[in-house]
Every structure is written in C-alpha cells, then in structure tokens.
Amino acid sequence: MKKFTSVAIDGPSGAGKSTVAKALAAQMHFLYLDTGAIYRTVGLAADRNGVAHKDEAGLRTLLPNIEVELKYTDQGQKMLLNGEDVSQKIRTPEISIAASDVSAVPYVREYLLDMQRDIARHNNVIMDGRDIGTVVLPDADVKIFLTASPDTRTKRRLKELQEKGIDTDFSTVYKEIQARDDQDLHRSTAPLRMAEDAVLLDTTEMSLEESIQEALKIIKMVQEGKQQ
C-alpha cells in the first residue's frame, strides 16, 4: 500500500495558514485541505436553518440532513452546501465566529473527522486548521505551528477582507481575532495548542514569500531528519 505524506499546519486566526498552505501545496504538488472551511460551511448551515451554533442536539439533527462537500477545481478548493458553492459566503467575520462555535461541539468534530482523515489516507496532503497535528492527524509526517503577533494577524485579515469587498476596520477585526483566539484556546474540545512535535514558525516579521520558504525549509528538515 502506497504511503502518502501529510503536513499539518496549525495556528491562530489570521496567521496566514491557508495562504502559506496553498502555496506549499502548489509547489509540492500536494492536495490542500482547508479544514476551517468545512466548519465554516457547517456554521453557515446552522445560521440558515435557525440552529444555535452551540446547540449540540440541534446540530445532531441538522448534520445528517445537509450535504457538505469538498470540490477541487483549477481555482482550488471549493465548499458546497447542498450543491451550492458557498466558498465566498463562508468568509465573513460572522461565519468565522460561527465556525469557532460549531467546531467546539464534540459531535460536530466527530462527524467531520473521518472526512478529513480519509482525504489524508489517499493523498499527499497539506492540511491546515486548529487541531490538525494534535487531533485530526496526530501522526502527520510534518507538523508546523504557524503564528504571528495579534497586530500583524489583524492587518493580514483586514487586507484579506477588504480585497473581498467586505467593509470593516482595524479595531473591529482586532476584536474579532481576540474573540476567536479566546474561543479556540479555551474550548473544552480540541483547543488550539501546539503539538509537542511541531516546529514553531513565527511570521510576524516575514513577508509571504519568506514565510513560504521558511515553511519549505522546515518540511525538508523534518523529512531529512526522519530518513537518517
């Protein structure tokens, strides 16, 4: 049976995980999986169906009756909800908080875990999220914990939102990132933390290209170390 390689990238909101992971996947010819997009899609479904984000009973009823699908295209990963492409609709600050809420519900995590692991079993994959190296892929070949200062993360997220035409400001985004950090760090189920065997990558003072090159160095270093 062919052995596929898995790279887990964890870190807080706005650190640039998805951007770096996408670039790495393109350069390494790996499949990229944005796990946060899956939870965002569930959060959107909850909103549309009037289910409170932390209502486990409501989510238990909802999930089996919706179809959350990952689709890979020339433009990258797309998220479909009941056949509708919601890739842009899930990128609002409100859905970001919804994603954090639903991802703290144990049933939701269990329900989606097999989907994520199955992709890694059958592909060379780079997967980013909050608990990839600690829970989803605890045996990942390479684990990176990517972070940056709160100010830097706010600037990056603000730029991303403004490029998508979302009207907001630094103060609002900063508060949203703080709220997301608090939820992710203190939730009882799979809280955000750095895996013991992960390599820390702080990109506060790095450009995007520098961050990508540093991540590539880490991947090469870890892989060479395991071959010795």
Average pLDDT, the chain: 92
Average pLDDT of span 111-127: 91
Structure confidence at residue 228 as a pLDDT band (50, 70, 90): low
Average pLDDT of span 14-18: 90
Average pLDDT of span 110-136: 91
The identity of residue 39, as a single letter, is Y
* 33, pLDDT greater than 60: yes
| CA gyration radius, the chain | 17
Average pLDDT of span 1-16: 87
* 1, pLDDT greater than 60: no
Identify the pLDDT of residue 15.
92
Identify the pLDDT of residue 71.
86
Identify the pLDDT of residue 2.
55
Structure confidence at residue 191 as a pLDDT band (50, 70, 90): confident
Identify the pLDDT of residue 180.
87
Identify the pLDDT of residue 223.
87
Least confident of 56-70, 91-105, 208-222: 91-105
* 67, pLDDT greater than 90: yes
Question: Within the chain, what is the greatest distance between any pair of CA atoms?
Answer: 54
In angstroms, how far is CA 216 from the centroid of its own chain? 19
Average pLDDT of span 82-94: 93
- Gap between the Cα atoms of 20 and 212, Å rounded: 6
Structure confidence at residue 100 as a pLDDT band (50, 70, 90): confident
Least confident of 38-52, 153-167, 203-217: 153-167
- Cβ distance 199 to 218 under 8 Å? yes
